[in-house]
Structure 1
């Protein structure tokens, strides 16, 4: 095979002998595992003569051109209320919609981001698994990270504070936030009804630090950029309520109205050093359009 000139996101090869596509790819990408190569095929990253091909036994003939697209999200897979932003042998990064559980609860064991990803990776190999690294509340949308092995999960969780370089949200909150930017610090605790609340007494719970900045505001609502210094359960929701401006649609923490029909919280950026390669990766999701509509 001859490797051709390429752009950074493509690898292109000329076929020199008649053989099946999977066989060709295993030879071409000899540094990758068989599972990894099959996964690349399933995700629709392989093109023969500029046409996408996912069949393992597709017959190649001399003179054909095989193009491999790098890090293409799972086009061949269909998901409900989520999409894959990035995948490699170690991690999967998704964008989750509001209304989708991250993982199962006692009440709902069916549709979750975790279950859909587990089903997806097991189509490649029945032994494949995914592992939850962190969670987003059901009604919070945005960027979320999963590991593809127990070892990678442990690396991420044990080194989370050092490896995660940016974790930011946008929050649509009630009322006009008068202070353009600020920091909220408290110690968070959970009561018997599983509701989190703040304590100003040092070490009375888990320390939580939230930074915010107003993006825009009108008489009824404020759109904030929110940066987490710590990642506690319901941290933003509690701290916005503490500020006197609960997240829109968050009845649990004092919201009085919901003009957008969903929780006004979106995980917009997750940036981290790759747990295996150390490469810096940054993923950004668009602000939900419903957050930006004029009222």
Structure 2
């Protein structure tokens, strides 16, 4: 893989990442890949030649070196960087799969048809892919830190080691080349790996909390549109006035006795003169 292809892949990962993911990618690329390529690889380049033992017994130095360095730091970090960056490419592959489905869907239903509003938006399956990639990256980082801690006794590199492995004739003293410089780079790479673990955990918390907040807003929005149904009668069968009545119910309900008394249903009283005038016949004779 050349640097242009690697840069294109990293650009795709950076495009579909959150803020924590972009910081994580910067830490991996600047503080781990660049340090590994520029400085660390040169420090461990001649480690076996600088591993000197105070004996000329053939094979003793090689056996002692293999005993104290079953796997080199530089090769272990190379494997760690490869395995750590691979889960991030899962997101890029998932987005590419969505783009391909979108292209086929538009070719079948027209250019205006859309299968996804945004193929790079972390919803549905892409959200799960992104979350799983974070868990995988965190597990890989922790696993490699545990391996380095288990092999090299808490990341410590002594200046002098004593070896009694066969074919050494007796217990011999072996000296590690550049022990202080290797110790500094070891602590630096371990610290960068720990920082990446913290960033992954923060990103997991951010994604999960954001998802729960979105679900809570949806549930709250649905609750506002649900009509509330009241019972027609209260628990007390002799008291039905606990709930307010609507205007339609008041119109349909017959008036009570007091309302009927207060209403002016009776005809107005006529005056006596009007009664007499109405009852007396008109005896006038027209002229």
> Which range, TM-score by smaller chain?
under 0.3
Question: Which structure exhibits the higher relative contact order, with contacts defined as CA atoms closer than 8 Å and separated by 6 or more residues?
Answer: 2
Structure having the larger proportion of residues in strand? 1
TM-score, with length taken from structure 1 = 0.19
TM-score normalised by structure 2 residue count? 0.19
Max Rg structure: 2
